[in-house]
Amino acid sequence: MNGSKIKTFIFASIITFFTISLIIYPQAALEASLRGLKMWWEVVFPSLLPFFIVSELLIGFGVVAFIGVLFEPLMRPIFKVPGVGGFVLAMGMASGYPSGAKLTARLRQEKQISAIEAERLVSFTNSSNPLFIFGAIAVGFFHNPKIGILLALAHYLGNITVGVIMRFHEYSHPVDENKNNSSKKLTIRHAFNALHETRAKNSKPLGKMLGDAVSSSVQTLLMIGGFIIIFSVLNNILALVQITDIIATFVTIFLVLLSFSTDLSIPLISGFFEITLGAKLTSEVTTASLKEQVILTSFFLAFCGLSVHAQVASILAETDIRFKPFFFARIIHAFIAGIYAYLLWSPLNEKLGGFEEEGDSPVFAPLKDLTWIEKVYETITIYGPFITLLFLWIYTWILYRNWRPNMK
């Protein structure tokens, strides 16, 4: 058998095994599906949608080209990517996975960056957003907002470090300097010229541009929702058939070498598939110290889970951007973020008055005021489903409007 037939046999066997498992454990599969759907319905869709829509409009109106000219002196020397990478980096940090991949693919489709530059850019612009780090993990799971500061610093510093490392990816590749980003035109006037030229090329009226932005964003989020649900089910199925326990025996060796509690093996494997469940299980391991829990959470938060990897692979498949550099960068980021969390623990623990102090007191206690990040997270979980339902209705209406003329 050649390599292609072996790959076909392996994939067919995995899908068959997964299908049989769903038939044997229908109730567990349903519960896992509902858990994934709830997270997408309440938090993921309403928190990502505004960023996706605004990003599409900023690209269409030429604002990204404007930013690209101004950021060229910063992004090119440090990360060896065009100035528009600064926009992708900022939006990726603000909105979270997989915004960096979506925006990078969009810029590649617009031919504002080369394929190699896109591979460098996507490797360090996909990160978790502050709302998830502070709201879901630090507050929701660890009941300690101070933990969010440590996780955020380790996460974002790690991403920047990965960007510097990945500048050497395909280093011999010739630099494709865009005429709007050449060193002779790094002025506000030329930045405005780039904005105007980009807007002039896009002759779509505002209504059409807005409709396309909503349609494209909702389609991407529907795809993301599907991956969240399927990996939630997969994670649960693997635990039920005890495959997770088998893998845990090998992971335990790695944890012993680090002098970590072996009870963290199951949470680490869960985090390898899906971040949210991994962080929740990690925070519940009482035999591990808080420092061990935070370092491990920082590790798989940077790796971002196979669920996000599948989302990014699906987005990049629409372009000529290869997925392997992204996967390699996530592995690097996971170890670097874990090291940063270890190094930052002592100075931040002293600076913030101790991480352990707030661990025993639930943050949502009635006598304790909510911080702004907790209020934002709580508001999204309450009103998120209404936002999701509203935009799904708008998306359906846009599809109907586009479908009706084609039927005439």
158 or 129: whose pLDDT is higher? Answer: 158
Distance CA 244, CA 266 (A): 7
C-alpha 203, offset from chain centre: 32
**Is residue 98 reached through a cis peptide bond, with omega within 30 degrees of 0 on the bond before it?**
yes
Element (H, E) at 405: helix 372-406
Q: Look at residue 184 and tell me whether its pLDDT is greater than 60.
A: no
The mean pLDDT of 104-111, rounded to a whole number, is: 90
User: What SS3 state is found at 159?
Assistant: helix
Task: Name the DSSP letter for residue 16.
Answer: H
Per-residue pLDDT band for 382 (boundaries 50, 70, 90) equals confident
Tokens read off for 22: 């769903």
C-alpha 162, offset from chain centre: 15
pLDDT in tens, 271-309: 888 888 788 889 889 888 999 999 999 999 999 889 899
Distance CA 81, CA 177 (A): 10
Q: Look at residue 134 and tell me whether its pLDDT is greater than 70.
A: yes
Q: State the helix-helix crossing angle for 3-24 and 26-39, rounded to 10 degrees.
A: 100
- Nearest-5° Cα angle at 236, 233 to 239: 150
Amino acid code (one letter) for 4:
S
Using CA atoms in the order 96, 101, 106, 112, what is the torsion angle rounded to 10 degrees?
110
Distance CA 64, CA 85 (A): 9
Do 64 and 84 contact (CB within 8 A), yes or no? Answer: yes
Amino acid code (one letter) for 116:
I
The mean pLDDT of 18-41, rounded to a whole number, is: 89
| Percent of the residues in the chain that have a pLDDT greater than 70, as a whole number | 90
- Nearest-5° Cα angle at 156, 329 to 373: 135
Amino acid code (one letter) for 296:
L
Rounded to two decimals, the pTM is: 0.83
